[in-house]
Amino acid sequence: MKKGQVILVGAGPGDPELLTIKGRKAIESAEVVVYDRLVGQEIFNLIPENAELINVGKESSNHTVPQEEINQILLKKALEGKRVVRLKGGDPFLFGRGGEELELLSEHGVPFQEIPGITSAIAVPAYAGIPVTHRDCCSSLHIITGHQRAGKTLSINFDALVQTKGSLVFLMGVSALEEICRGLLNAGMESDMPAAVIEKGTTPSQRPVLATLSTLPQTAKEKNVKSPAIIIVGKVCAYSEQFDWFDNLPLKGKTVVVTRPKERAGTLSSKLRSLGANVVEFPCIETHPFIPCPEMEKAVENIAHYEWLTFTSPAGVSALMEFLERSGRDVRALGSIKLAAIGPGTDRELRKHGLRADLIPEIYDGAHLGQALCNVKPEGKVLILRAQWGTKALTDALDSGNISYDDIRCYETRYTAPNTENVRRLLVPGTIVTFTSASTVTGFVSALGKDTDFSAITAACIGQQTETEARKYNLHTITAEKATMNALIERIVNTSENSSNL
């Protein structure tokens, strides 16, 4: 029987963008994923839809699946010939019991790999402005597990740790925080030594609690610090207020719901996360090309009859390219036709295929695209490839300029409703929902129901047409000055900084 393979992948400390490139590739090729509780949803989104998911998550004093059983699961799935990814928070070999899981595989000759993850022991302090080493403070770093078995005392040589005079990082130690601090004090460490506990590090919910060694347990209790959190003790903690860059990001603590189609949400979501936002992806629409599409096939066969080819969204470009691929052709089939795009996003989609727009209107909507085409006064015909229910603004503008055109609807927009209940809980004051088209507004409202109370949220709209659609449902709107992602993000940031309501 053909043996499969097991790949231990460290998912990192929480920020999905701290996942390594190699780890991402392994996840995207997995047939089976065995995962822990500390893996974020954004990383789950990378898992192939047909992969088998096995939850073996562990919490403090609550092991859903015993370690020995996890080892057997990995072996069983590998012996079935599957490509298995063992997905762990942090790094598999740093208190992650990765070595134990590989022992059984090694005994049975199962091929395996270990892809390191960025450990929370270094990343979480860094996100709180704490450099774990600094030549003015210490010459060593020590990472210690604060985990203890139920009913057992900690087995830590506190005297040796104090003598190092280095930075100390305790993982999985929240429940033993008081015992850890008392042990260091009894070993002779100064009571006023800077110390910190950081909850949910590197995520938008990160919360650093700064104190001294003697006051940290009480301060953490008053702040109701919960796991997952790490403890840092050492003079380096004093740099946190000066170096804390993450908590000073403009959207830190803000929840932003992104409603773009799943395949197009990445850029907007990534930019919002880089500004500290808690991004929840809620794709409300999907685009599907019409297969077959005789009108488009006929138009492409007679492409020389047209002077301009016009796209109102990246989805139109994708539909055309998919059609060319299915018919065994490529962009050369388009000949020397000129290309018009409604905005930079559509132009970027063209550039992926070695093309670029000859015309982009100054204002990125259908009416201005039509007017821009009228201004160039085409002598030949215009071919429009767009959605089934596209706005009339484009064709009305062409009609007013007596421009001849063929308007071909080559794809449809379908409304989806994933994780509706999770999003419904986010309809609270301060939540921002981004809308990059009128159809995302319609999809959002359809998913949650027209009778839903949307009054608490702010609808961030990319343009006037989107804003008009949002106001039909009495949404409080803010609108980008230009219909671009960067302008939309700028509008969100400015509103967040200037309004106490967000």
CB 90 within 8 A of CB 230: no
Q: How far apart are the first and last CA of the chain?
A: 59
Q: How far apart are CA 454 and CA 86, in angstroms?
A: 40
Q: How far apart are CA 176 and CA 217, in angstroms?
A: 9
What's the sign of the alpha-carbon dihedral 241, 244, 249, 253? negative
Active-site position among 3, 58, 262, 482: 58
Is the peptide bond preceding residue 228 cis, with omega within 30 degrees of 0? yes
Q: What angle do CA 109, 114, 119 make, to 5 degrees?
A: 150
Beta bridge partners of 34: 54, 86
CB 165 within 8 A of CB 134: no
CB 16 within 8 A of CB 43: yes
CB 55 within 8 A of CB 86: no
Sheet with 32-35, strands from edge to edge, namely 52-55, 32-35, 83-88, 5-10, 112-115
Q: How far apart are CA 361 and CA 351, in angstroms?
A: 17
Which residue type does 302 have? N
Is 254 a known active-site residue? no
Helix/strand/coil (H/E/C) assignment for every residue in 325-374: HHCCCCHHHHCCCEEEECCHHHHHHHHCCCCCCCECCCCCCHHHHHHHHH
Is 36 a known active-site residue? yes
CB 39 within 8 A of CB 113: no
Active-site position among 15, 22, 36, 396: 36
Backbone torsions φ then ψ of 290, nearest 5 degrees: -75, 125
Element (H, E) at 465: helix 464-471
CB neighbour list of residue 195: distance below 8 Å, 6 or more residues apart: 181, 210, 211, 212, 213, 216, 231, 232, 233, 234, 237
Which residue type does 51 have? A
- The position carrying tokens 């999770």 is 422
Q: What are the angstrom distances between the C-alpha of 36 and each of 52, 56, 70, 200?
A: 14, 6, 11, 15
% helix, strand, coil for the chain, step of 5:
40, 20, 40
Active-site annotation, residues: 36, 58
